A and B are shown apart, each in its own frame.
Chain A
Amino acid sequence: MLLINCPYCGEREQVEFSCGGEAHIERPKNPPDLNDDQWADYLFLRKNIKGLQYERWNHSFGCRQWFNVARNTATDEILAVYKIGEKPPELESNNPITPCGEPAIGSGNFSTSNK
């Protein structure tokens, strides 16, 4: 299970949290001006990144505050935690390195010899 460092409470197990998905999606400033494709983009389309992803989490069984997490979705490594409204930290993402696109750790079908 992931250990998440809530900026308000400290490190807790992931079951105390709920993930709110991709972060930094801005609500449209002029909703009436949007066409259907722009609405689809805002409501449904997601980056769904394999690698470094910025995402929102809520400490739903703790302080109930929202905050942001930078996590590598290929390895589940948590790289940074930062507050809502703060700029996402610029990070080196440990992108998948093997010929099969699998990360060095965390993948069920990868042998550790490769680095």
Chain B
Amino acid sequence: MIKKSKKYSVFSLVKNALSYHENWQPAWRNPEIKKEYDAIIVGGGGHGLTTAYYLAKNHGIKNIAVVEKGWIGGGNTGRNTTIIRSNYLWDQSAAIYDHALKLWEGMSQELNYNVMFSQRGVMNVAHNLHDVRELKRRWHANRLNGVDCEWLNTQEVKKFCPVINTSPNIRYPVLGATLQRRAGTARHDAVAWGYARGADAMGVDIIQNCEVTGININNGNVTGIETTRGTINTKKIGIVSAGHSSVIAKMAGIKLPLESRPLQALVSEPVKPVIDTVVMSNTIHAYVSQSDKGELVIGAGTDGYNSYSQRGGFNIVEDTIMAIVELFPLFSRMKMLRHWGGIVDICPDASPIISKTHINGLYFNCGWGTGGFKATPGSGWVFAHTIANDQPHALNAPFGINRFSSGELVDEHGAAAVAH
């Protein structure tokens, strides 16, 4: 854990203010690469960093490296629209996403790092009879699983989020919505930095600017990795590289059921508080919230073809903005400031793969696609268990790679359809 002398507190703030904030220490080391580690995590996004953190904390494995080709959090962790919720349809998904949500609730305390987790509620809006039926089905399924969820009719939606257009005369009128009040948003960078700092304090080496270029395998056992900074030996490798999972799987001769696609988001100029919840719609394919800085944070969809270009088609942005403007006419004059894409790894059943492989010591945590930020702590928790014990935790047992042979898919297209 973080040493007392290094803890952030009101006192450390005052102390550092007195020296003009010139003496803050780096939050994690920039270590020399060792020859060998007990485990190597490939990918320094949120899921990789939480995996290392929980390996050290829950399983006492501390001789670990997290190897990241760029900078930590520079992948989808730092590119997403930060929506956190657990209102998924099936029991297996509700269990893992709600486990994650519970970890979010204690995260800032646990890490001694403010991740600005804000339980402002997430509304999923219905625009036609099918939506109403589908969302009500999910509402009931959530209640049976102990996941908080409510149904709001049109007037209640308007009351909860006054800026939404509830006119019955628009092309896709608001017929109601589900509301998960425990859901919300968090500061994405802080999640990466907070877990990196926590893992580093337990001895984990965080190695940035180091790309993995090969997986060494001998007689069906992993022996190490090749990187742009040399060979590193290990008997356990956890691959957590999101959009690039297929690229790394190929190094080990494995084919995954993934398609990598650009997913885009954009933010507006900052304005005064106008929307204090998250509004999402599958049908018109748009979602919006407002950051603490005042920017509207708007998520678009994925492109209709595979690409690693890290930028999507402009038509996707246009479609999203059209939908947002019809649902929130008062946003029509706002200027958009920034816009970007991330490469997401999409699974055929819109559920993740957190799994062993047929190669001893090689594990994959991928397929989170458009919606894995919310799962960050839970994903690391169960993946650390899988790596430490060489068998899945009860929560990720349903998410093995073998489900594509057995046919036991966990179809979450309804809960995950709009990218988020």
Please give the residue numbers on chain A whose beta carbons come within 8 Å of chain B beta carbons, in ascending order. Answer: 1-2, 14-15, 18-19, 21, 36-37, 39-41, 43-50, 53, 55, 71, 73-76, 99-101, 103, 106-109
Q: Specify which chain A residues have a CB less than 8 angstroms from the CB of B341 in the assembled complex.
A: 108
Q: Specify which chain B residues have a CB less than 8 angstroms from the CB of A21 in the assembled complex.
A: 259, 306
Assess whether A108 is in contact with B306, with CB atoms less than 8 Å apart: no
Residue of A at shortest CB range from B260? A48
Q: Specify which chain B residues have a CB less than 8 angstroms from the CB of A109 in the assembled complex.
A: 70, 74, 310
Q: Given known contacts A1-B314, A45-B404, A109-B74, is B306 in contact with A18 (CB within 8 Å)?
A: no
Assess whether B246 is in contact with A100, with CB atoms less than 8 Å apart: no
A33 to B306, CA, bound (A): 31
Assess whether B307 is in contact with A100, with CB atoms less than 8 Å apart: no
Assess whether A45 is in contact with B257, with CB atoms less than 8 Å apart: yes
Assess whether A100 is in contact with B70, with CB atoms less than 8 Å apart: yes
Q: Specify which chain A residues have a CB less than 8 angstroms from the CB of B404 in the assembled complex.
A: 40, 43-45
Q: Given known contacts A46-B258, A100-B211, is B308 in contact with A40 (CB within 8 Å)?
A: no
Residue of A at shortest CB range from B349? A44
Assess whether A48 is in contact with B306, with CB atoms less than 8 Å apart: yes
CB of B315 closer than 8 Å to a CB of A: yes
Q: Given known contacts A100-B69, A101-B211, A106-B309, is B348 in contact with A44 (CB within 8 Å)?
A: yes
- CB-CB contacts of B230-252 with A at 8 A, as 1s and 0s? 00000000000000101100100
Q: Specify which chain B residues have a CB less than 8 angstroms from the CB of A36 in the assembled complex.
A: 405-407
A53 to B308, CA, bound (A): 12
Please give the residue numbers on chain B whose beta carbons come within 8 Å of chain A beta carbons, in ascending order. Answer: 69-70, 74, 211, 213, 228, 244, 246-247, 250, 255-260, 304-311, 313-315, 340-341, 348, 404-407
Q: What's the minimum C-beta distance from B340 to chain A, rounded to whole angstroms?
A: 7
Assess whether A46 is in contact with B246, with CB atoms less than 8 Å apart: yes
Assess whether B306 is in contact with A40, with CB atoms less than 8 Å apart: no
Q: Name A's interface SS.
A: loop
Q: Specify which chain A residues have a CB less than 8 angstroms from the CB of B258 in the assembled complex.
A: 46, 48
Number of interchain pairs (Cβ within 8 Å): 96
Q: Specify which chain A residues have a CB less than 8 angstroms from the CB of B407 in the assembled complex.
A: 36
Cross-chain contact of A48 among B213, B228, B256, B405 (Cβ < 8 A) = B256
Q: What's the minimum C-beta distance from B257 to chain A, rounded to whole angstroms?
A: 4
Cross-chain contact of A76 among B250, B307, B405 (Cβ < 8 A) = B307
Assess whether B405 is in contact with A74, with CB atoms less than 8 Å apart: no
Q: What's the minimum C-beta distance from B353 to chain A, rounded to whole angstroms?
A: 11
Q: What's the minimum C-beta distance from B349 to chain A, rounded to whole angstroms?
A: 9
Cross-chain contact of B244 among A15, A46, A50, A103 (Cβ < 8 A) = A50
Assess whether A101 is in contact with B69, with CB atoms less than 8 Å apart: yes
Q: Given known contacts A1-B315, A73-B308, A107-B309, is B259 in contact with A48 (CB within 8 Å)?
A: yes
Q: Given known contacts A73-B308, A76-B307, is B255 in contact with A46 (CB within 8 Å)?
A: yes
A108 to B310, CA, bound (A): 6
21 contacts between A and B (CB under 8 A): A19-B305, A21-B306, A36-B406, A40-B405, A44-B348, A45-B257, A45-B404, A46-B259, A47-B250, A48-B260, A49-B246, A50-B247, A73-B307, A74-B309, A100-B211, A101-B244, A107-B308, A107-B309, A108-B311, A108-B340, A109-B74
Q: What's the minimum C-beta distance from A46 to chain B, rounded to whole angstroms?
A: 6
Assess whether B304 is in contact with A46, with CB atoms less than 8 Å apart: no
* Besides A47-B246, A53-B306, 5 other A-B contacts (C-beta < 8 A): A44-B404, A45-B257, A46-B256, A50-B247, A107-B309
Q: What's the minimum C-beta distance from B230 to chain A, rounded to whole angstroms?
A: 13
Q: Specify which chain B residues have a CB less than 8 angstroms from the CB of A2 in the assembled complex.
A: 305, 313
Q: What's the minimum C-beta distance from A67 to chain B, rounded to whole angstroms?
A: 14
Residue of B at shortest CB range from A47? B255
Q: What's the minimum C-beta distance from B410 to chain A, rounded to whole angstroms?
A: 13
Assess whether A1 is in contact with B313, with CB atoms less than 8 Å apart: yes
* Residue from the set A40, A41, A100, A106 with the largest chain B CB neighbour count within 10 Å: A40
Assess whether B255 is in contact with A45, with CB atoms less than 8 Å apart: yes
Assess whether A19 is in contact with B310, with CB atoms less than 8 Å apart: no
Q: What's the minimum C-beta distance from A111 to chain B, rounded to whole angstroms?
A: 13
7 A-B pairs with least C-beta separation: A48-B246, A44-B257, A19-B305, A108-B310, A36-B405, A45-B255, A40-B405
Cross-chain contact of A45 among B256, B308, B315, B340 (Cβ < 8 A) = B256
Q: Specify which chain B residues have a CB less than 8 angstroms from the CB of A73 in the assembled complex.
A: 260, 306-309
A36 to B404, CA, bound (A): 9
A49 to B348, CA, bound (A): 17
